[in-house]
Structure 1
Amino acid sequence: MPTTRVTGRGQKSPVDEEFLKQLYQGGELLAQGRVDEARQLLERVHQLQPRNEKGRNLLGLAYFKLGLFDRAAEIYEALVRDNPVDATLRVNLGLVYLKTNALQRAMREFEAATDLQPDHQKAHNYLGLALAQAGEYGRAREHFLQAGSDVMAEKMAKAIAGEKFPQPARTSFTPRAPAPAARPASAPSEGQWGAQFGLDESPSAAGPAASDGSDDELRFADDEGPGAMTETPPDAAAGEGGQEAEGRPGADGAALAERSSSEPADEPLPQSLEDATPELPSKVSAFRPGTQVPVLTELASAVALAGANPLQTLRVGTHSFSAYVEGELLTRLEGLVAFSGQLQFQPEMKRYRGRPTEEFFGEGDAQLVRATGTGVLFVESPPSRCFLAVDLGDEGAYVREECVFAFEEAVAFDNGRVPSDVAPDLELVHLRGHGRVVLSLTGALRSVAVAAQRPVTVPLSHLVGWQGKVEPRVVLLPGESLPEESEPPRRVAVELSGEGFALISLPVR
């Protein structure tokens, strides 16, 4: 989070004064139910300090209350990227996904939260509710038991025994104030790879059905923690005798944070996704000047990287992944954070028709290596890229070489290229076999169907690869012309014809 800038002898700059004033007013308007007015102020706050966690949380809350779940998801996804080991942020993002009926995405976030914090009762409970909605009563019962929700565990036991159990209804929400419609989500593509990459989980553009929304409010905590989300009660703005508490605009940032830092009362675990509400984090994963300094040993355990293990050999987040190696794993070491155990690394050579060539697979830090031995790898991606793990299933795929980051030994590969007269040849990797692959992308993965007599042309900057019986051809984008020998390559694209899917990565915004 950006720290307060000072001018002269400890005085805040006008920019910081404006930021604190609008942040305070935005929180007040939210507490008063004047949500659209709060949104306008908080968007200005976000412009002044885009990395401020409190401002982002409040803006996400405003979007959520207005029913702009797509925008709320962007805010919370960014918070999760910045704090990938915060279990509560994972839970909160999962609840936002539930509002868009992206059930599988929500379950993944709840599962990640339970991995990060096994004793997080609400994460287990929400995961149980989501699994029950999906009809997976056995798994749901296990998580209800871990959540301490005996009533729901008993319902799952009856459902397993064959007794009729009404699946929890999908979540619904009524916006508090008129607002412009959220931008429509991309329509899902059909086909095997579309399902494997989660393309069938796009939020409904129409939005969920209406309800009173009384239990659907995200709550924000003023403890400045990255995952802090609890709403200040309307009467919390006044102290004893109705006098306003300290922390007016221009006051010290710590005073602003102290306005409503009380813990919420314990609530029973919800028995329906209709009652889902975000969770106040049990620990603050960051500290600010002037607050109590954490004990190093406690801080170290609280911010531990999520590591893979023999039962979960691959753990992939948006901008990080860890892999448990027992035998061999092919991976790049670009972004390596650490590795534990006894591992050796040998540069991998490109293959052609199953035989090694004399050319290295990648160069420098981006070179692919074969990791052997027993240990755990921790890798972080640069901000401009993200990771995605996929299972190849029964069909292979052609993927651009730069998009292949790691894959299991069971995956067979061959290198190749698509010759081009208008740009450098397109370097490819053909991946096949039953195994998992970690892709390095510039953003969200999408697909476009390629059908007979309907070729698809994708700008090279967006292309990840393709699957199916597809013929590629490198072409110039419309309006471009062939470059002279001394000129750089023009903007190019790849035309795909045949039957299959074009795999596309939408750049990170």
Structure 2
Amino acid sequence: MRADRGFAGDGEQFLELLNRGSDLFAAGELAQAREALEAAVALRPKDPKANSLLGLCYFKLDELDKAAEIYTALVHDNPLDVTLHVNLGLVELKRGRPAAAIRALEVAVNLAPDHRRAHNYLGLAYYENGEIERAREAFLKAGAHAMVEKMEAALRERSEGKEWENGAADPDVEAVPSLSELCESLRLYWPRGAPFAVEAAGVALDFASGIYTRLDGLIVARGNATFEPVRKRYRGELTASSFGTGPRQVFHARGGGQLIIAAQLAPSEPPRLFTPVRLVEDFYVVESCLFAFEERLDFENGRVAGPRSGLDLHLVRLRGEGHALLVTPRSIRTEAIYGNETVRLPMEGLVGWTGPITPRLLEGPAGAWVELTGEGSVLLLA
């Protein structure tokens, strides 16, 4: 009981500090607002609202290094949040780091192509970085006609051989959004209806009834779906083996909704590539390359024994008409096999195949290889 009261007390204290900080910030009492918000963040270090407001407070106080640190952490934890990327870009612009601002703002406009403020800041960042043509394009998308004319004048002078002096751009052309504007814009820009909507920052899985999917990289789940771990199927029978383990477990999501999945799992890792496919024939896919598929597709797990113990190829056969989502570390290409031809490739480069193809594992010059014989199309890593 004492612990429960302690948790309740911490929660009440956090909300009191957050509300006090918000009120002080709105009143322009920035130093006092910073103290209250720092205390709130100390109680809940990962709370996005408290951190975002504290970041704005640091920005207003010209404590830009602290603001950058906060927004860098926020975009790591919330990679599909457009406004956080915009604010990080603005902070980096004010710090005099246009290249870093460009990185943040390019993510923002990829997530929200119609975000005029993001395009405006991106134009300023390109301008500061000496990329006049790209700045012009960004200002055009932002509807900043005066800046478009300025960029066109700069381009004309360059074409005439005149030296263009890149005067300092003012990132305060548009004000930092207020807290109410920030809250209003805190939404994810993803289409609804398509089974898999892929963007640079991740993928949205939209399902009306049910879907089989992994959840590693999950940002948010909309709707009231339930999630049940899936077991492998061999020859039509369920087994005791899990379909995936740990964070890569496959779940059966039922009830309808939308899942937002991030492409990048950690800052030190490159982003994953998602590839949606529409199936009308049997498809054999390497288990680790299959991220999700519609429940109207039948599935069966399989294994090709390797040349030595522990070196097996785990596959999934999808049958029926529907959509599947592949996940790979790099782009996919295809190779055709004709007339009972045989091809070989390193096992780690195989994604899957269609058609009557027989696989076999063997020892290659540097590790295990896959030998494929038959006729069909092979998907492999580029």
TM-score, normalised relative to structure 2: 0.58
**CA drift at 1:324:** 2.7
The change in CA–CA distance for 1:246 and 1:87 in structure 2 (over 3 A counts) is closer
2:236 is the counterpart of 1:350: no
Give the equivalent residue in structure 2 for 1:233: 152
Q: Is the 8 A contact 1:318 1:388 kept in 2?
A: no
Give the equivalent residue in structure 1 for 2:296: 410
Which of the pair is proportionally richer in helix? 2
Q: Is the 8 A contact 1:457 1:495 kept in 2?
A: yes
Decide which of 364, 373, 376 is 1:477's aligned counterpart: 364
Q: Is the 8 A contact 2:195 2:323 kept in 1?
A: no
**Residues in 2 aligned to 1:244 and 1:313: alpha-carbon distance in whole angstroms:** 49
The change in CA–CA distance for 1:353 and 1:338 in structure 2 (over 3 A counts) is same
**Residues in 1 aligned to 2:179 and 2:337: alpha-carbon distance in whole angstroms:** 55
Instruction: Tell me which amino acid in the other structure corresponds to 1:220.
Output: R
Give the equivalent residue in structure 2 for 1:460: 347
Q: Is the 8 A contact 2:235 2:300 kept in 1?
A: yes
**Residues in 2 aligned to 1:452 and 1:396: alpha-carbon distance in whole angstroms:** 19
| Helix, strand or coil at the partner of 2:255 | strand
**CA drift at 1:504:** 0.8
**Residues in 1 aligned to 2:370 and 2:105: alpha-carbon distance in whole angstroms:** 35
**CA drift at 1:346:** 0.5
Q: Is the 8 A contact 2:332 2:380 kept in 1?
A: yes
Decide which of 266, 269, 293 is 2:176's aligned counterpart: 293
Residues 357-410 of structure 1: CA distance to partner in whole angstroms, max 9, x if unpaired?
Answer: 1111000111000111132211112234111111002x1111000011111111
TM-score, normalised relative to structure 1: 0.44
Decide which of 306, 316, 337 is 2:189's aligned counterpart: 306
Residues 32-67 of structure 1: CA distance to partner in whole angstroms, max 9, x if unpaired?
Answer: xxxxxxxxxxxxxxxxx996465x8xxxxxxxxxxx
| Helix, strand or coil at the partner of 1:439 | strand
Decide which of 426, 430, 435 is 2:317's aligned counterpart: 430
Give the equivalent residue in structure 1 for 2:377: 501
2:296 is the counterpart of 1:398: no
Counterparts in 2 of 1:372-391, with a 5 A limit?
372-382=254-264, 383-391=270-278
Aligned length: 258
**CA drift at 1:354:** 2.1
Give the equivalent residue in structure 2 for 1:221: 135
Instruction: Tell me which amino acid in the other structure corresponds to 1:436.
Output: H
The change in CA–CA distance for 1:447 and 1:222 in structure 2 (over 3 A counts) is same
Counterparts in 2 of 1:142-153, with a 5 A limit?
none
The change in CA–CA distance for 1:243 and 1:421 in structure 2 (over 3 A counts) is closer
- Structure 2 stretches lacking a partner, 5+ long: 1-62, 64-96, 117-131, 265-269
The change in CA–CA distance for 1:53 and 1:372 in structure 2 (over 3 A counts) is same
Higher relative contact order (CA 8 A, sep 6+): 1
| Helix, strand or coil at the partner of 1:232 | helix
**Residues in 2 aligned to 1:438 and 1:233: alpha-carbon distance in whole angstroms:** 43
Give the equivalent residue in structure 2 for 1:86: 112
Give the equivalent residue in structure 2 for 1:334: 216
**CA drift at 1:430:** 0.4
2:365 is the counterpart of 1:365: no
**Residues in 1 aligned to 2:364 and 2:229: alpha-carbon distance in whole angstroms:** 36
**Residues in 2 aligned to 1:290 and 1:322: alpha-carbon distance in whole angstroms:** 34
The change in CA–CA distance for 1:441 and 1:299 in structure 2 (over 3 A counts) is same
**C-alpha RMSD of the superposition:** 3.8
Which of the pair is proportionally richer in strand? 2
- Structure 1 stretches lacking a partner, 5+ long: 1-9, 11-48, 57-77, 89-115, 118-217, 248-254, 259-287, 481-490
Sequence identity percentage: 34
The change in CA–CA distance for 1:385 and 1:51 in structure 2 (over 3 A counts) is farther
